[in-house]
Amino acid sequence: MTTQDMRKIVSTIAGTGSYLPAKILSNKDLETLVDTTDEWIFTRTGIRERHIAADGEFTSDLALEAAKNAIHAAGITADKIDLIIVATTTPDKIFPSVATMLQRKLGIAGYPAFDIQAVCSGFVYALATADNFIKAGAAKCALVIGAETFSRITDYSDRSNCILWGDGAGAVILCAAQADMHSKEGVISTHLHADGNYETMLHVPRKENGQDTVLMEGNAVFKMAVNTLDQIVDETLAANGMQKSDIDWLVPHQANIRIITATAKKLDMSMEKVIVTVDKHGNTSAASIPLALDVAVRDGRIKRGDVILMEAFGGGFTWGSALIRY
Ligand code: UT7
């Protein structure tokens, strides 16, 4: 057998899905809550509105709707799923995990299901983990989700960050496939990093009254995010011997349009090649990348065979990227 005849397992995105709660909180609405303006929020962040979960609507409910859409798009039934990973910072309960709740809601049982907590980088962490399960032969069909109800940990009297966050969920079905040993199919590579020295720059400390809310040194986090994402773009291209021009689409974490624009500039990419949802979704933490991916797949911009770069930076700090041929 020659090396050309040799095959390898790759993981490919079989389908995507997403879900946003019905209620919309606009910048104008926020003007009535804190000392801010639509103009300030839009200019500094690119956000116009965000979705907010209803009373009694939890992360597992959003995850379920996104999962159903992804399962339908993949043309499979839920009983084909042999791994569930949910990236979330806002689980329904401290335990059990959203993933096991979702498994029950999907009417399946037995295979592994667990949550990953890497805040805004969570989806990239979850995708990398599922990809490694599949490449190791430990799973064949994974449901990978980013789902958040950040509104539940937002202090709507803190104008410095309540303007950012939104709720939502995005999902992908990641399936095992065979490919030529040297081909670059499916998830081409993933790159994960963390540095716990920055814990208190972006965190949710425990409060005695149970009202745990996000604290963020916004401007310092902003600068760290831009510099770190610059580096991860270089690392991802170098690891694959690829050029900037090989990337068809940037699907970034949607934290702030100014961070997204800086990464696009680094990649010499026109903003037409960048999937932007921050204007309508706000920052939905771990949900933002799969939400943006699903939007662009469904509106026909991202097509089979396109090369996508996903990247994210978040609390911890954590950061990471995934390079995928869709
Ligand atoms: O998703 C994971 C990681 N998170 C991020 O990547 C978020 C990163 N950070 C950001 O997106 C931005 O830092 C923010 C949007 C949070 C803040 O924007 P900024 O341009 O960094 O503003 P700033 O914090 O430096 O504040 C500038 C001014 C201050 O006033 P003075 O001190 O210059 O008089 C703030 O008090 O803007 C004021 N300000 C506001 N004014 C109107 C802060 N928040 C508001 C507000 N409305 N909502």
At 11 the three-state DSSP class reads: strand
- Residue segments in the chain with a per-residue pLDDT below the cut of 50: none
What pLDDT does 2 receive?
A: 65
| 311 φ, ψ (degrees, to nearest 5) | -145, 150
Quote the tokens at residue 56.
């009694």
CATH domain 186-325 topology: Peroxisomal Thiolase; Chain A, domain 1 (3.40.47)
- Atom index in ligand 1 nearest the CA of residue 259 equals 6
Q: Ligand 1: distance of its center to the CA of 40 in Å?
A: 9
What CA–CA distance (Å, rounded) separates 263 from 233? 8
Q: Ligand 1: distance of its center to the CA of 288 in Å?
A: 20
What CA–CA distance (Å, rounded) separates 85 from 175? 13
All residues at 6 or more sequence positions from 20 whose CB lies less than 8 Å from its CB, including other chains? 51, 62, 167, 168, 281, 291
What pLDDT does 1 receive?
A: 60
What pLDDT does 208 receive?
A: 85
How crowded is the C-beta side of 134, counted as CA atoms within 13 Å?
Answer: 31
What CA–CA distance (Å, rounded) separates 251 from 238? 19
Of 7, 14, 253, the closest CA to residue 140 belongs to: 14
Domain 4-180, CATH 3.40.47.10 — does that match?
A: yes
Q: Ligand 1: distance of its center to the CA of 164 in Å?
A: 10
User: What pLDDT digit, counting tens, does each position of 156-181 carry?
Assistant: 999 999 999 999 999 999 999 999 99
Chain region(s) in the chain for CATH 3.40.47.10: 4-180, 186-325
Separation of CA 104 from chain center:
23
What pLDDT does 3 receive?
A: 58
Residue with CA at minimum distance from ligand 1 atom 14: 218
SS3 content of the chain, % helix, strand, coil (to 5): 40, 25, 35
Ligand 1 pocket, residue 224 CB under 6 Å: no
Quote the tokens at residue 202.
């972006």
Separation of CA 116 from chain center:
12
What pLDDT does 119 receive?
A: 98
Of 164, 142, 149, the closest CA to residue 14 belongs to: 142
What pLDDT does 182 receive?
A: 87
User: What pLDDT digit, counting tens, does each position of 198-254 carry?
Assistant: 999 999 999 988 889 999 999 999 999 999 999 999 999 999 999 999 999 999 999
**Helix residue spans in the chain (DSSP H):** 27-31, 38-45, 59-74, 98-105, 122-135, 218-239, 257-266, 278-281, 288-298
- Is 0.85 topped by the overall pTM? yes
